[in-house]
Amino acid sequence: MNLLADIAQGTAAHFPSENFLNRELGILAFNRRVLSQARNPLIPLLERLRYLCIVSSNLDEFFEIRVAGLKEQVKLNSVSVTTDGLTARAAYRLVSDEAHSLVEEQYVLLNDEILPRFAEESIYFLRRSAWTTEQREWIKDYFFREVMPVLTPIGLDPSHPFPRVLNKSLNFAVELKGKDAFGRSSGAAIVQAPRVLPRVIRLPQELCDCEYGFVFFSSVLHAFVGELFAGMQVLGCYQFRVTRNSNLFVDEEEVKNLRAKIQGELPQRHFGDGVRLEVADICSDAMASFLLSQFNLGETDLYRVPGPVNLVRLMQIPDWVARADLKFAPFRPGFPKSLKKGNCIFEDIRTSDILLHHPYQSFSPVISLLDRAASDPQVAAIKMTVYRTGTDSVLMQSLILAAQNGKEVTVIVELMARFDEEANIGWATKLEQVGAHVVYGVVGYKTHAKMLMIVRREEGKSGSLLRRYVHLGTGNYHPKTARLYSDFGLLTCNEEIGADVNEVFKQLTGLGLAQSLKHLWQAPFSLQQNLLTAIDTEAAAARSGRRARIIAKMNSLLEPGIISALYEASQAGVKIDLIVRGVCALRPGIKGLSENIRVRSIIGRLLEHHRVFYFYAGGEEKVYLSSADWMERNFFRRIELAFPILDKKLKRRVIAEGLQIYLADNQQSWEMDANGSYRLRRSPRSKPRCAQSELIELLKP
């Protein structure tokens, strides 16, 4: 335990705080880059709306987790500072200003550009003032038939206190005048919109002079809210939405049954402390102040918006509108040539390692491998980690079938996978019911590594033997996200890698000291230290006048020890390229510190998710793929893996497809400056290069 306690301390920064950037501001900067996609007229219109919704979804989680954490520290009067030198109070002020600015830009873009462009394409979001008599009659009938029966208006008085409002739910605050049947005149009521009701309603085409006519649910309620308060005058009706702290508070040292504890905590997530209040921009000052007081929030937590308070619900529109000309052209993922049609997949893996590059190449080989293993009489055991897999997973169904067929099935289910806890508990229960061994990893360390191991009895030269087939990946075992996220996966039966993977499974299911691994770098034991060693090796080579090079691609770069090592390598003369999709705390391009480091972020139609680490290593060119970003949590509080690409041909593919093609991108690549600002990389004299488009073409069937 002392070893883990020492590891958990992390590595201190070797440089002053001014050489590090703030994490929360970096997240908001990332969302500005995503918002730029919604602003880009070259992107199909329905996809622009989708990007706008993605920003809102990202901001929801940002407030639920990151801002909630800052507010907790402010409440506790914390004076500690993070690596960038800011206190929680100072960071919160900066974050609040930037978040308000970002939200304002969102709605300006929606109202002034995207919705007018929709109208040009005969897709209308009809305002109440523009409803025709026929439309109003249809909407009124819809209100009485579909809406009113499920609404429960709550008048606010001593016997009807302010109701419990679910996290991120749509609600309406109604100002009233007059007395009801009992002589009450509180002047206010709350109407909660049930989640079963759609937030956007499509009108029948015959009622519209357009192909698609939509109305917002908020417009419907505003128009007919008076029907809920007979004989009273409605002075105002204002939509509002509160975002709550959604961190799960589980004291893991006191927990005896982790699953039961999490199941008990999940319902409370919907009612955590308020963090942000969104209201319609027409909301009266008195009502806004009243709502803020109900959620113990201040003026800086108030976001007035000229439109729906939940733009995430508009994510459905691109799916409803059948206009291929307003969407990205679909593409069909390719299939590795090494997987021969009609062959047994185990035979193909025995022939050579197989590299899968999703979503440009299909995820179906992973599905097929597990499906085949579930029914193959020669398969004796299956072991797998589950972090995110979805509520409807063919992979989980294959594991259930394997257990029913008498295979020895062991599944490491991560119960603390944020916002997927309920789905994972559900799968754990189903797996246990068919006799699978379900383990929840190591308390205090999230199991984030992506591992699948199949043990199969086969005939070898010297008789029967057990062979391990392994899949390792940079992304989750989630068929849906495998169509949207860029990730690498490796299928191999390399004996030494199989032995390493088996050792990690032993750690997760049993007890004992961590053993040395032949090829894999594992967090929390060796991953960060091996990365530091690899970086230092490049620095030493540069100091001695030899060639040195580092290229790394990841989602986030925050860990101060790694950043310090990169600064030292830059000072030694190592050329370093970092492709960081999201937040990066390193400041590139500072003379005498990081002038040899360039940082870029790729934002395109697909979400860049794979982690690739390249070191020149004296010409050996070591390449690792990993489940881990370069963050403290990944190095010290998670079970993570980085695995080498040993096959030279596959190594060249990873370098070409995972690194070089992104470094050449001059269409979707954003370059970062020392202050944390980004500018879109454009090279007017160079041939346009778009990494994602080129990979779609390169790997198509």
Contact criterion met (CB below 8 Å) for 488 and 362: no
**688: Cβ contacts below 8 Å, ≥ 6 apart:** 666, 667
Record the tokens describing residue 550, joined without a space. 């580092």
Specify the amino acid at residue 378.
Answer: Q
Q: Which secondary structure element, helix H or strand E, spans residue 522, and what is its range? A: strand 521-523
Specify the amino acid at residue 242.
Answer: V
Q: Among this protein's residues, is 448 annotated catalytic?
A: yes
Nearest to 266, CA basis, from 377, 137, 424: 424
Angle CA 82–579–545, to nearest 5: 95
d(CA 418, CA 411): 18
- Backbone phi, then psi, for 373, in 5-degree steps? -65, -35
Contact criterion met (CB below 8 Å) for 281 and 103: no
| Longest CA–CA separation in the chain, Å | 93
d(CA 300, CA 15): 33
- Backbone phi, then psi, for 284, in 5-degree steps? -65, 150
Specify the amino acid at residue 511.
Answer: L
Record the tokens describing residue 631, joined without a space. 């963050």
The dihedral over CA atoms of 261, 264, 270, 274, expressed in degrees to the nearest 10, equals -60
Nearest to 363, CA basis, from 440, 441, 473, 279: 473
Helix axes 68-75, 88-109, angle to 10 degrees: 150
d(CA 144, CA 415): 43
Q: Is the peptide bond before 524 cis (omega within 30 degrees of 0)?
A: yes
Record the tokens describing residue 605, joined without a space. 């139609």
Count the Cβ atoms, other than its own, within 10 Å of residue 488: 26
> 357, 358, 448, 609: which one is catalytic?
448
d(CA 237, CA 222): 6
588: left (phi over 0), alpha (psi -120 to 50) or beta: beta
Q: For 315, which DSSP code?
A: G
Contact criterion met (CB below 8 Å) for 676 and 29: yes
Record the tokens describing residue 312, joined without a space. 């995430």
Q: Whole-angstrom distance between the N-terminal and C-terminal Cα of the chain?
A: 51
Specify the amino acid at residue 342.
Answer: G
Record the tokens describing residue 552, joined without a space. 């790394």
**Exposure b/e, 63-99, CB count within 10 A at least 16 = b:** bbbbbbbbbebbeeeeeeebbbebbbeebbeebbebb
Q: How far is CA 80 from the centre of its chain?
A: 28
Q: Which residues are catalytic?
A: 448
